[in-house]
């Protein structure tokens, strides 16, 4: 749940007007981070548009790292450098993990959670490779129609 | 095809809607055209289902016996007439579709027996019949491609040069779109990578030989998996075989550079070597520069069937290649092949198999919604059809054989099968679920995995290892 607050209140209501100090979440960034860490992807994106501080925190890749590995045993430390090299956790989550999880949602077994992440990582890597090709466009692939191997994840499930 | 609700909705979106109050006239004209010999038209396969609306009142009573009788139930209520319009269309189409298939088989029989004049007239009839069938999907589309291939065979002889003559650049583009549009190649890559990853376990110097590099789409996932394996990544060498580029551009090297950049990003020591060869049998083992201390994996995605000639001589290309593969002593050889029997000597048998196989494949492609991937994937498949049907001799390279035959052949050449394992199966199942169509299925068959559409297997993946005591066995017998 996103705790709403008003930025204007903070500017107009000075602390010396109140006898008791008012609790304001932005003063306690460590607690704020702990809360934001537990959000789902969509809420995290919504939280990023609340104010500049929240935006900065929500952009922090470690929050998205938590999201990716939430239901999975913590991955080995080597994973982080690989993911960062391929584009970061936010991109991994929004591009691969979330669509994979939602697509597999119907027939998911709990034991597959780790494999889902592995599959997402592989797809993420192929996507990075294709983006490499696009940016190096030397006439090999026509730029505007260069296919992305993640496009099949973007389309809705056709039952 | 058929009367399933999905087909109705498909037709509703594609059907040209006429004024419902004119429905009786439209049905009349449709039946009139059906009764008269249809005019010959060009083989352009994107055609409107019905072109003209000539009004002839008395013709429908003289229609052929199998013409559906639905027109008696037509009312002028709009919804009712729309449904009936669709019913008439599907019944007619199903009918036309069945007729097309029969005519295709008859035409193939004529080609086999050499009766080219009858075959030619059948081609004309079929092309006329195509105008009455929805060629945007279903049997009409596949039939169109087979009619084209048959007419090419009849009129241009067995060279069929234009079918196989696409430039390497074109082929790569089509292949890439085929990769995007349907899961067959993704299944092949992921399954092979899983097997290779497991075979490389514990080795610090590994060497992968890819028989058809294309854009190298298989290898990023393997590089990433090796980067993350417990114990750290090995030194990975990749040798990619591909056709030479015509205009002096070294496309193999470009792909190698891209893969190297990826490997560098994820801290995997990587070396690439490109071997340009227009045919796989031209490749000699010394070109691969295999180091005896490294673990070798040979990866063949739909390449081995190209080595099968029509004559079963002792030194056919397939035997030569298989024997030098054995000489490399690979830790694993991953083989993915089309699960089809398109290398039979009899033309009619081959044609029948191909018709069934490619109809199934086109069916599965219907679920793809992304363009232009779907259209280009269809062209890719169309080229395969053309090669299977209209080429002979050395021009026919699409000599698909089923897994059972490959098992016999590879066992006879000194290889033994490795079981692909539950991880590969799990990964393949998950991959399929991501593709939006519900009809794909993975099956396990004595350690090999096959991917199919509605339980018709279309592509099969297997893994092999050289039998070490083979030479002793051969010399003692």
Rounded Cα–Cα distance for residues B110 and B118 (Å): 7
Chain B, window 243-272: residues with a beta carbon less than 8 angstroms from a chain A beta carbon: 251, 254, 258-259, 261-262, 265-267
Query: Taking CB atoms and an 8 Å limit, are B223 and A145 in contact across chains?
Result: no
Nearest CA-CA distance, residue B348 and chain A, Å: 37
Q: Chain B within 8 Å of A79 (Cβ-Cβ)?
A: yes
Nearest CA-CA distance, residue B378 and chain A, Å: 16
For B273, which DSSP code?
Answer: E
Give the residue-averaged pLDDT of B180-187: 91
Looking at mean pLDDT, say which of B82-86, B169-173, B354-358 comes out highest.
B354-358
Q: Higher-confidence residue: A109 or B44?
A: A109
- Residue A29 has which token pair? 């960034």
Closest Cβ–Cβ partner in B224, B232, B438 for A122: B224
Rounded Cα–Cα distance for residues A131 and A154 (Å): 16
Rounded Cα–Cα distance for residues B93 and B129 (Å): 10
What are the boundaries of each domain within chain B?
80-156, 179-339+400-466
* Chain A neighbors of B431, CB-CB under 8 A: 119
Say if residue A101's pLDDT is above 90: no
- How much is the pLDDT for A65? 87
Neighbours of B371 (CB within 10 A): 11
Nearest CA-CA distance, residue B179 and chain A, Å: 8
Query: Taking CB atoms and an 8 Å limit, are B266 and A159 in contact across chains?
Result: no
Closest Cβ–Cβ partner in B186, B266, B436 for A158: B436
Give the residue-averaged pLDDT of B291-302: 94
Say if residue A151's pLDDT is above 80: no
Q: Higher-confidence residue: B370 or B351?
A: B351
Rounded Cα–Cα distance for residues B385 and B361 (Å): 11
pLDDT tens readout for residues B49-70 = 444 333 333 333 333 343 333 3
- How much is the pLDDT for B32? 60
Q: Higher-confidence residue: A100 or A151?
A: A100
Say if residue B133's pLDDT is above 50: yes
- How much is the pLDDT for B18? 53
- How much is the pLDDT for B127? 87
Say if residue B294's pLDDT is above 60: yes
Q: Higher-confidence residue: B318 or A152?
A: B318
Chain B, window 137-176: residues with a beta carbon less than 8 angstroms from a chain A beta carbon: 169, 173, 176
Query: Taking CB atoms and an 8 Å limit, are B434 and A104 in contact across chains?
Result: yes
Cβ–Cβ under 8 Å, residues B217 and A128: no
- How much is the pLDDT for B91? 67
- How much is the pLDDT for B169? 83
- How much is the pLDDT for B75? 42
Closest Cβ–Cβ partner in B217, B370, B427 for A119: B427
- How much is the pLDDT for B393? 82
* Chain A neighbors of B223, CB-CB under 8 A: 125
Rounded Cα–Cα distance for residues B188 and B462 (Å): 10
pLDDT interval class at B197 (50, 70, 90): very high
- How much is the pLDDT for B270? 95
Q: Higher-confidence residue: B247 or B119?
A: B119
Query: Taking CB atoms and an 8 Å limit, are B266 and A86 in contact across chains?
Result: yes
Give the residue-averaged pLDDT of B166-174: 84
Query: Taking CB atoms and an 8 Å limit, are B265 and A129 in contact across chains?
Result: no
Query: Taking CB atoms and an 8 Å limit, are A149 and B217 in contact across chains?
Result: yes
Query: Taking CB atoms and an 8 Å limit, are B180 and A147 in contact across chains?
Result: yes
* Chain A neighbors of B430, CB-CB under 8 A: 100, 104, 112, 115-116, 119
Percent of chain B with pLDDT over 90: 46
- Residue A5 has which token pair? 């607050």
Q: Minimum mean pLDDT among A9-13, B109-113, B262-266: which range?
A: A9-13
User: Which residues touch B209 (CB under 8 Å, ≥6 apart)?
Assistant: B239, B241, B288, B290, B296, B297, B298, B299, B328, B330
Say if residue B319's pLDDT is above 80: yes
Say if residue B343's pLDDT is above 70: yes
Is the domain spanning B179-339+400-466 CATH 3.40.50.150? The answer is yes
pLDDT interval class at B385 (50, 70, 90): very high
- How much is the pLDDT for B463? 96
Say if residue B179's pLDDT is above 80: yes
Chains A and B: how many Cβ contacts under 8 Å? 111
Q: Higher-confidence residue: B325 or B83?
A: B325
Query: Taking CB atoms and an 8 Å limit, are B228 and A145 in contact across chains?
Result: no
Closest Cβ–Cβ partner in A121, A126, A158 for B437: A158
Closest Cβ–Cβ partner in A99, A100, A147 for B177: A147
Closest Cβ–Cβ partner in A116, A153, A157 for B430: A116
Interface test with B, best of A108, A155, A158 (most B CBs within 10 A): A158
pLDDT interval class at B26 (50, 70, 90): low
Query: Taking CB atoms and an 8 Å limit, are A156 and B436 in contact across chains?
Result: yes
Q: What is the ipTM of this complex?
A: 0.74
Q: What are B208's strand-pairing partners?
A: B238, B297
Q: Chain B within 8 Å of A84 (Cβ-Cβ)?
A: no
pLDDT interval class at B24 (50, 70, 90): low
Nearest CA-CA distance, residue B194 and chain A, Å: 11
- How much is the pLDDT for B470? 57
Give the residue-averaged pLDDT of B111-139: 84
Check the CA dihedral B251-B460-B399-B407 and report its sign.
positive
Model-wide pTM > 0.90: no
Q: Could you give the 3-state DSSP secondary structure of residue B1? A: coil
Say if residue B85's pLDDT is above 60: no
pLDDT tens readout for residues B115-124 = 888 988 999 8
pLDDT interval class at B41 (50, 70, 90): very low
Cβ–Cβ under 8 Å, residues A130 and A123: no
Give the residue-averaged pLDDT of B433-441: 80
């Amino acid at each position: 749940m996103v705790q709403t607050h008003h930025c204007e209140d903070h500017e107009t209501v000075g602390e010396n007007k109140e006898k008791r100090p008012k609790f304001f979440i932005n003063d306690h960034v460590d607690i704020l981070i702990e809360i934001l860490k537990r959000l789902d992807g969509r809420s995290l994106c919504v939280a990023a548009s609340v104010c500049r501080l929240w935006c900065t925190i929500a952009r922090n890749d470690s929050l998205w790292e938590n999201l990716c590995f939430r239901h999975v045993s913590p991955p080995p430390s080597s994973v982080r450098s690989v993911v960062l090299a391929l584009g970061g956790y936010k991109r991994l989550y929004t591009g691969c993990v979330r669509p994979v999880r939602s697509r597999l949602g119907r027939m998911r077994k709990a034991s597959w959670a780790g494999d889902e992440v592995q599959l997402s990582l592989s797809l993420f890597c192929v996507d990075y490779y294709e983006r490499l090709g696009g940016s190096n466009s030397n006439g090999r692939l026509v730029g505007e129609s260069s296919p992305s191997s993640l496009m099949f994840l973007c389309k809705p499930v056709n039952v | 095809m058929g009367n399933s609700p999905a087909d109705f909705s498909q037709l509703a979106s594609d059907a040209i809607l006429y004024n419902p109050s004119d429905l009786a006239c439209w049905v009349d004209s449709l039946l009139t055209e059906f009764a008269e010999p249809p005019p010959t038209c060009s083989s352009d396969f994107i055609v409107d289902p019905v072109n003209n609306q000539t009004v002839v009142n008395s013709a429908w009573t003289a229609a052929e016996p199998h013409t559906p009788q639905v027109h008696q139930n037509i009312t002028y209520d709009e919804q009712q007439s729309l449904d009936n319009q669709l019913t008439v269309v599907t019944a007619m189409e199903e009918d036309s579709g069945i007729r097309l298939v029969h005519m295709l088989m008859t035409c193939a029989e004529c080609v086999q027996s050499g009766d080219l004049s009858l075959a030619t007239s059948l081609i004309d009839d079929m092309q006329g019949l195509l105008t009455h069938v929805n060629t945007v999907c279903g049997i009409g589309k596949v039939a169109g491609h087979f009619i084209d291939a048959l007419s090419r065979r009849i009129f241009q002889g067995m060279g069929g040069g234009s079918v196989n003559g696409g430039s390497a650049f074109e082929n790569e583009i089509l292949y890439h779109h085929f990769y995007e549009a349907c899961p067959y190649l993704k299944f092949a890559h992921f399954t092979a990578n899983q097997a290779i990853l497991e075979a490389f376990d514990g080795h610090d110097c590994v060497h992968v030989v890819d028989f058809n590099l294309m854009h190298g789409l298989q290898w990023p996932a393997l590089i990433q998996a090796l980067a993350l394996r417990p114990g750290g990544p090995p030194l990975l060498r990749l040798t990619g075989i591909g056709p030479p580029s015509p205009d002096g551009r070294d496309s193999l090297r470009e792909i190698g550079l891209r893969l190297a950049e990826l490997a560098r990003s994820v801290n995997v020591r990587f070396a690439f070597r490109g071997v340009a060869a227009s045919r796989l049998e031209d490749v000699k083992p010394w070109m691969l520069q295999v180091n005896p201390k490294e673990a070798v994996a040979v990866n063949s995605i739909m390449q081995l069937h190209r080595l099968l000639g029509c004559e079963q001589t002792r030194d056919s290309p397939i035997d030569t290649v298989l024997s030098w593969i054995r000489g490399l002593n690979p830790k694993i050889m991953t083989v993915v092949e089309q699960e089809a029997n398109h290398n039979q000597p009899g033309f009619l048998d081959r044609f029948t198999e191909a018709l069934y196989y490619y109809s199934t494949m086109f069916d599965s492609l219907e679920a793809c919604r992304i363009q232009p991937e779907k259209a280009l994937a269809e062209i890719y498949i169309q080229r395969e059809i053309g090669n299977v049907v209209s080429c002979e001799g050395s021009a026919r390279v699409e000599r698909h054989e089923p897994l059972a035959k490959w098992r016999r052949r590879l066992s006879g050449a000194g290889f033994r099968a490795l079981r692909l394992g539950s991880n590969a199966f799990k990964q393949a199942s998950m991959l399929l679920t991501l593709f939006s169509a519900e009809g794909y299925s993975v099956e396990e068959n004595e350690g090999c995995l096959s991917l199919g559409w509605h339980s018709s297997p279309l592509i099969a993946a297997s893994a092999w290892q050289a039998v070490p005591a083979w030479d002793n066995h051969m010399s003692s017998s």
